[in-house]
Amino acid sequence: MLKPRKVSAQQEIISRELNIRSLVLDQVALNMYCDIDGTIIHVNDLCCSMLNVSRFEIIGKPLHRILSGHLGSNTIMSMLQHADANGNWKGFLSVKSKNEQFTAGYAVICPIRDEHNITTRFIIALDSARTPEMNAFPVTQSQIDLVYNISRAHKVQKVFYQSSEELEKEHEKTQLIFRSAHPISGDVYWMRKNHNQLNIIFGDATGKGVPAAFISVAVTAWIVSNPQILSQSPKKTASQINDFICTLLKKDTRDSVSESIDMAVAKIDLDAKILRLTSAKTRVMILRQGELILTMQDKTSIGETTYNSSMSTSQVISLEDGDRVVFLTDGMVDQLDQSGKRFGSANFKAILRKSAQLPLEQQRNYIREQIEKFRGDTAQTDDMTLLMIEI
């Protein structure tokens, strides 16, 4: 059996981040997405074109109705279960248009998982070659293998991310929202407790897709291989990460790469109730008795330049019992609705205040539901990461 969803009713209506339009894959493969029950919840434009149907003629139908008639619902569920257990299913499939014409080719089915490592939906990608003889397809097979490679990259990157449960082992009163817009993410979050001090690194690589994910993985790899950060100041850690990225991306040479990362480095002393913070273009707020305390953030990203003036900013903030320290990437406030309107920072602050009296987990769920309600059928704009820690 597939693991059950751990999402709200609003979320499971449609998880619209499934539209990974920025990937080349959408241009070369027929893509469908289904939930864990095998019901189609999204298809790309190429799928509609090849099958000569509108998107809404397909959405909501069981997957086995679109695939070859000889594949029943039990067979489809077995394929999904295999993909869930093994990371992918690969084989030959054909799909049927409303004119009873078939599009056939090599296919890959891959699971997409949430922050709890629970599979919530699947991507099914089929090469777009129309081959009545169902024979060789040397080019499109390599193209469709891109799905498999992206899925493997997603699986590798997941190793670097802590699950919600792992974060709660570090500090029980911790909640996380992590929703990547694509199978691989440019966001970074990490937390470790040492001598009753929480060490936190939280960031958002510039750009989107694969380049941002490279930066995310590189920074996280640096973090886990440098244990000295547990005993040094956030300012020093931020400076070291800045030097690491500048060296990695050859910032002082003609081959320099423009990517960088917006990042907050923090240390919370749970005994003394003190927050030490260095933040480069990253929102960090303290929710106290329904009111928000905004921390300072610098205007230069980590790794943007070899001399980073943001390293000069370090804050020390006294905390109180019941305070909630909130770390936020841009993905939530930059989310668009169907009219193109941004969710916005003011709206996010308002829902934080409105939900301040809820238990921490309920507040996280409320925030997530409000953003999903605002987004509606619009594709997810960017990676969304929210980390909340209650003192």
pLDDT of residue 113: 81
372 shares its domain with 299: yes
Both tokens of residue 154? 């997603």
At which of 156, 176, 201 does a domain end? 156
281-334 residue pLDDT tens: 899 999 999 999 998 888 888 888 765 544 557 899 999 999 999 999 988 899
124 shares its domain with 183: no
354 shares its domain with 384: yes
At which of 156, 181, 213 does a domain end? 156
Judge contact between 65 and 54, C-beta under 8 A.
no
Judge contact between 223 and 201, C-beta under 8 A.
yes
Burial 16-49 (b: 16+ CB within 10 A, else e): bbbbbeebebbebbbbbbbbbebebbbbbebbbe
Q: Answer yes or no: is 57 within a domain.
A: yes
Structurally, the chain folds into a number of domains equal to 2
Q: Answer yes or no: is 3 within a domain.
A: no
pLDDT of residue 17: 40
263 shares its domain with 385: yes
Residue 59, pLDDT above cutoff 60 = yes
pLDDT of residue 55: 75
151 shares its domain with 187: no
pLDDT of residue 15: 38
pLDDT of residue 98: 58
> Residue 39: which of 69, 3, 91, 76 has the closest Cα?
76
Highest mean pLDDT among 78-92, 150-164, 244-258: 78-92
Please state the rounded mean pLDDT for residues 329-347.
Answer: 90
> Domain range holding 381?
161-390
pLDDT of residue 342: 92
253 shares its domain with 273: yes
205 shares its domain with 149: no
Here the CATH number for the domain that contains residue 118 is: 3.30.450.20
245 shares its domain with 322: yes
Distances (CA, A) of 9 to 79, 350, 368: 26, 23, 12
Q: Answer yes or no: is 4 within a domain.
A: no
pLDDT of residue 151: 66
113 shares its domain with 224: no
Q: Kindly list the strands in the beta sheet with 291-294, ordered across the sheet, starting from the edge strand earlier in the chain.
A: 174-179, 384-390, 324-328, 283-288, 291-294
Here the CATH number for the domain that contains residue 220 is: 3.60.40.10
Global confidence as pTM: 0.67
At which of 156, 181, 201 does a domain end? 156
Q: Answer yes or no: is 2 within a domain.
A: no
Both tokens of residue 163? 């699950």
Please state the rounded mean pLDDT for residues 327-356.
Answer: 92
32 shares its domain with 176: no
When mean pLDDT is compared across 28-32, 114-118, 261-265, 281-285, the lowest value belongs to: 28-32
102 shares its domain with 218: no
144-156 residue pLDDT tens: 566 666 666 777 7
Q: Answer yes or no: is 34 within a domain.
A: yes
Amino acid at 215: I
239-288 residue pLDDT tens: 999 989 988 888 777 777 788 899 999 999 999 999 999 998 899 999 99
> Residue 353: which of 293, 280, 263 has the closest Cα?
293
Q: Answer yes or no: is 132 within a domain.
A: yes
Mode of pairing for the β-strands spanning 324-328 and 315-318: unpaired
79 shares its domain with 109: yes
351: Cα within 13 Å, side-chain hemisphere: 19
Please state the rounded mean pLDDT for residues 98-122.
Answer: 74
